[in-house]
Amino acid sequence: MPVIDKIKEVFHSKKPHRSDTAPTIPAENEGEATPYLPTEPVFDDSKVIVIFVLGGPGAGKGTQCERLVKDYGFAHLSAGDLLRAEQDRPGSTYGDLIKDYIREGKIVPMEVTVKLLENAMRVSLSNPPVTSGPLAEHWKNGKGRFLIDGFPRKMDQALKFDEAVCKSSFVLFINTTEEVMLVRLLERGKTSGRADDNKESIVKRFRTFVETSMPVVDYYRAREKVVEIDSSPPADVVYDNVRVAIDERLPDSPTYLGQSSSTTFTTSTPIVATTPSQSAPAGLTHQVELGQA
Ligand SMILES: Nc1ncnc2c1ncn2[C@@H]1O[C@H](COP(=O)(O)OP(=O)(O)OP(=O)(O)O)[C@@H](O)[C@H]1O
Ligand SMILES: O=c1ccn([C@@H]2O[C@H](COP(=O)(O)O)[C@@H](O)[C@H]2O)c(=O)[nH]1
């Protein structure tokens, strides 16, 4: 049976129990683990802030995230990077599967990506990316702040992440035209070494974005959780607008007062969830084979 059918069969047919020991789902082959996703959020959204960063391939999501990391102390988790790392990890059960999906510009089954993200979040929360200076405050006492880049790309991922990992705060939608994205990706492709930065894969990725990922943006937009930024201008200009958007929505912004900035900040309309949810029970600190740090 193909690996993905196996994942789906086990995932959908067996109801794992919670206990103090990490739950396991029997796998057909010994040593092979199947991603298990709980039915309640593992992380408490009153402490852990999750911002989804969406946009077409090459729109500039990663570029903006890098800057935000420096100024706001976010942990930046790129779903694509996590998948590529898992693909290259010796012994990964999902390596071949991920490789095929990425080359075809298709969305890897959500069980794999959601579990990789959950694991990476857990690692950041136990080893905070910022440990000194004013931004370290955001990583104390179980708190954390994440930019989840290039995710969710499909509705099932969006719903599952909110249900099983953490309720997201809002979506930063980095948007430009396919013409601009194509130029940027072909240029990046000269040095990126990415198997999907070529014309054939790019066209497939564009199609997947329009057909599969835009419905996710529309879903959050209907719930007034989308901030759209035009990423056609130079990266510095885009970043100025991104900063304003972030400052308007983070509950405790401006976070980098004291650093030089001419932007006028407001703290109105925070849309980060404030209702405490259940913290992660010990039994849910289940780690599968995926992306172990
Ligand atoms: N505003 C901009 N103006 C010009 N070039 C840009 C801009 N933003 C990003 N770039 C360049 O475009 C390329 C794609 O940017 P980036 O990697 O940030 O996009 P991305 O949305 O994360 O892409 P992907 O989803 O494919 O990973 C990079 O080479 C980057 O340097
Ligand atoms: O949630 C996700 C995110 C990404 N993918 C696959 O990875 C590639 C590359 O993603 P980038 O964000 O451009 O690095 C994407 O085309 C998908 O094939 C995914 O399956 N699920």
Closest CA to 121 of 50, 191, 183: 50
Answer whether residue 247 shows pLDDT above 60: yes
Establish whether residue 55 lines the binding site of ligand 1, counting it when its CB lies within 6 angstroms of any ligand atom: yes
Rounded Cα distance, 206 and 58, in Å: 10
Closest CA to 110 of 88, 79, 71, 77: 79
Q: What does the pLDDT read at residue 34?
A: 56
189 alpha carbon, closest ligand:
1
Pocket around ligand 2 at a 6 A CB cut-off: 57, 78-80, 83, 101-102, 105-108, 113, 150-151, 153, 157, 196, 205
Sign of the C-alpha dihedral computed for residues 230, 233, 238 and 241 taken in this order: negative
Can you identify the CATH homologous superfamily of domain 3-12+45-249?
P-loop containing nucleotide triphosphate hydrolases (3.40.50.300)
Q: What does the pLDDT read at residue 279?
A: 29
CB 139 within 8 A of CB 130: yes
Q: What does the pLDDT read at residue 290?
A: 64
Domains of the chain by residue range: 3-12+45-249
Q: How far is CA 23 from CA 37, 203, 246, in A?
A: 10, 41, 37
Residue type, 138: H
Rounded Cα distance, 129 and 147, in Å: 13
Answer whether residue 273 shows pLDDT above 60: no
User: What's the token pair of residue 239?
Assistant: 């970043």
Average pLDDT, the chain: 81
Establish whether residue 61 lines the binding site of ligand 1, counting it when its CB lies within 6 angstroms of any ligand atom: yes
Strands 226-230, 144-149: parallel, antiparallel or unpaired by DSSP? unpaired
Q: What does the pLDDT read at residue 254?
A: 56
Average pLDDT over residues 74-86: 98
Between 80 and 36, residue with greater pLDDT: 80
- Kindly give the distance from the C-alpha atom of residue 170 to the centroid of ligand 1, in angstroms, as a whole number: 21
- Kindly give the distance from the C-alpha atom of residue 147 to the centroid of ligand 2, in angstroms, as a whole number: 15
Answer whether residue 185 shows pLDDT above 60: yes
Q: What angle do CA 114, 161, 73 make, to 5 degrees?
A: 85
- Kindly give the distance from the C-alpha atom of residue 189 to the centroid of ligand 1, in angstroms, as a whole number: 11
Q: What angle do CA 140, 145, 237 make, to 5 degrees?
A: 130
Rounded Cα distance, 217 and 206, in Å: 15
CB 36 within 8 A of CB 93: no
* pTM, full prediction: 0.83
Confidence of residue 33 (pLDDT cuts 50, 70, 90): low
Answer whether residue 85 shows pLDDT above 80: yes
Using the CB atoms, write b or e for 80-110: b if 16+ within 10 Å.
bebbbbbbebeebbbbebbbebbeebbbbbb
- Kindly give the distance from the C-alpha atom of residue 137 to the centroid of ligand 1, in angstroms, as a whole number: 30
ipTM above 0.90, yes or no: yes
* φ/ψ bin of 55: left (φ > 0), alpha (ψ from -120 to 50), beta (otherwise): left
Least-confidence region, from 5-19, 49-63, 166-180 = 5-19
pLDDT in tens, 157-183: 999 999 999 999 999 999 999 999 999
Task: Determine whether the annotation assigns residue 108 to a binding site.
Answer: yes
Confidence of residue 270 (pLDDT cuts 50, 70, 90): very low
Task: Determine whether the annotation assigns residue 80 to a binding site.
Answer: no
Least-confidence region, from 8-12, 77-81, 232-236, 270-274 = 270-274
pLDDT in tens, 199-211: 999 999 999 999 9
The residue whose CB lies within 8 Å of the most ligand 1 atoms, and thus the one to mutate among 52, 54, 63, 230, is 63
CA nearest ligand 2 atom 11, residue: 80
Establish whether residue 76 lines the binding site of ligand 1, counting it when its CB lies within 6 angstroms of any ligand atom: no
Q: What does the pLDDT read at residue 291?
A: 54
Task: Please tell me whether the peptide bond between 38 and the residue prior to it is cis, using omega within 30 degrees of 0.
Answer: no
Closest CA to 203 of 97, 57, 75: 57
pLDDT in tens, 111-167: 999 999 999 999 999 999 999 999 999 999 999 999 999 999 999 999 999 999 999
Least-confidence region, from 114-118, 160-164, 216-220, 253-257 = 253-257
Confidence of residue 252 (pLDDT cuts 50, 70, 90): confident
- Kindly give the distance from the C-alpha atom of residue 281 to the centroid of ligand 2, in angstroms, as a whole number: 30
> Residues of the chain with pLDDT > 70: what percent?
74
Confidence of residue 36 (pLDDT cuts 50, 70, 90): confident
The distance from CA 77 to its chain's CA centroid, rounded to whole angstroms, is: 5
- Kindly give the distance from the C-alpha atom of residue 231 to the centroid of ligand 1, in angstroms, as a whole number: 9
